[in-house]
Amino acid sequence: MTAADGGEELVSAVALEEEREAEATLRPRRLAEFIAQDRVREQLELLLHGAMRRGRPPEHILLSGSPGLGKTTLAMIIAAELGAGLRITSGPAIERSGDLAAVLTSLGPGDVLFIDEIHRIARPAEELLYSAMEDFRVDVIVGKGPGATAIPIDVEPFTLVGATTRAGLLTGPMRDRFGFVGHLEFYEPHELDILLHRSARILGIELTDDGATEIAGRSRGTPRIANRLLRRVRDYAEVRADGVVNAENARAALQVYDVDDLGLDRLDKAVLTALVRSFGGGPVGLSTLAVAVGEQPDTVEEVCEPFLVRAGLLARTPRGRVATAGAWRHLGLVPPDRLTFFDRAMESLPSGSGGRTDTIGDGAAPGRRGVRAEQQDLFSQEP
C-alpha cells in the first residue's frame, strides 16, 4: 500500500478492522467524559436519570449521524450509566427473524441491545422487532402452511439503541417506536482540539496546541478521523523527527499521506481536478466523472461527494455535478465570472447586514460545521 492509498483510508469515516482495539482504548466511559454533542448529551442525561429514578428501563433510543461521530460510543455509555448488560449486533447480521428472536430471548432484565446500521435490518426481523419493542414479546412461527402456529414468548424489559447513518431509509413504523431520537452533528475544530488532547494523554503522545489545531483542521469534523491522523502523525514524529506532535511534524506527516489542509485525499482532489480541468467546472454526470477518475460511480457518490458538498467545493444539480468557486480556488485556479458574482455581491452589502451566505441557496448552513472560519468563502457559489 502506498502512502497515497493510505491517505484515502486516513480520511475515511468508516472504522478499519485494525483500529477496533485502538478505538476501544480511546472511547469515553461516561456521559461526563463525552466531548461535544452538548444537546444530545443533555437530553440523554435527563432520559437516563429519569428512568433510573422510576426504576424502569428508558425508552428506546435512535441515534443518527455520519460514521465516526460516536453513535457506538454513546450506546456503550448508555449501558454503563444504567449499570446494565450490553448486547451488540448489526442490521446486516440479522437476516432472519429467528436470528433476532434468539438475541432478544437471551437478554436479561434492563439490558441494552445495540443494533448498528439498523436501517439495513431484514424486513421479517423488523416486523418481529415491533412487538418486542412495544409489548416485550415475540411471536415465533412454528411449522409452515395452514398448520403453522404462532407461539408467543415473553422477553425481559430492555432498551433498544439503534444507530443509523441513513435515517431516511428507516420505515415509518420503526421510527415511530423510538421514544428518543438524537442526531449527532459534525464536530467543530475547537471541539476536536479538546478530543485530540484527551486522546494524546491516553496514548502517551506529546502533543502541542498548534499540532492539535493542525490535525483538527484536516479531520473533516469527525473524531474517528482525528484520532487516526493523530496516530499516523505520531508514527512520523517518532521515526523522522523528535517524537513531538507539533504543527511542523503534522504538516510533514500528512503531506506524506497526501492529506491536504482541508482534509482532502488523493481521490477527492482527483474528482475536483477532473471536474474543473476536464469539464470546465461542470455540469457533468456522475458516471462520466467516475470514468474520468477511474473509480466506480457509487465510490465517487458515497465516499467523495458528501464531504466535498459539505465543504462547499462541489454542488449537485439536476444537470450534474458542478465545481464551486471554492473548488477552483482550492486548486489554485481563478474561478470564472459566473461563480464569483455572488462574492462581489456579498462584499457590497452594508456592514450591519452580517453578509450571511446561509440564507441563500439550499443547504449551505449545515456544511459549515467542522470547517474553519477562514474557509467560509468556500460556500460562495451561484444559487
What average pLDDT does the segment 322-338 reach? 82
CATH number, position 354 = 1.10.10.10
Which of 152, 183, 214 is the last residue before a domain boundary?
183
Cβ count near 373 (within 10 Å)? 8
**Residue 313 confidence (pLDDT):** 86
Which of 183, 211, 242 is the last residue before a domain boundary?
183
**Residue 340 confidence (pLDDT):** 57
Q: Which are the catalytic amino acids?
A: 71-72, 116, 165, 224
Same domain, 157 and 277: no
Q: Is 109 contained in some domain? A: yes
Same domain, 342 and 210: no
CATH number, position 142 = 3.40.50.300
Domain count, the chain: 3
For residue 354, name the pLDDT band (cuts at 50, 70, 90): very low
For residue 292, name the pLDDT band (cuts at 50, 70, 90): confident
Q: Is 323 contained in some domain? A: yes
Q: Is 6 contained in some domain? A: no
Which of 256, 283, 301 is the last residue before a domain boundary?
256
Q: Is 5 contained in some domain? A: no
What digits encode the pLDDT tens for the residues 28-47? 999 999 999 999 999 999 99
For residue 4, name the pLDDT band (cuts at 50, 70, 90): very low
For residue 372, name the pLDDT band (cuts at 50, 70, 90): very low
Question: Residue 208 is part of which domain span?
Answer: 189-256
CATH number, position 225 = 1.10.8.60
Q: Is 275 contained in some domain? A: yes
Residue 270 has pLDDT above 50, yes or no: yes
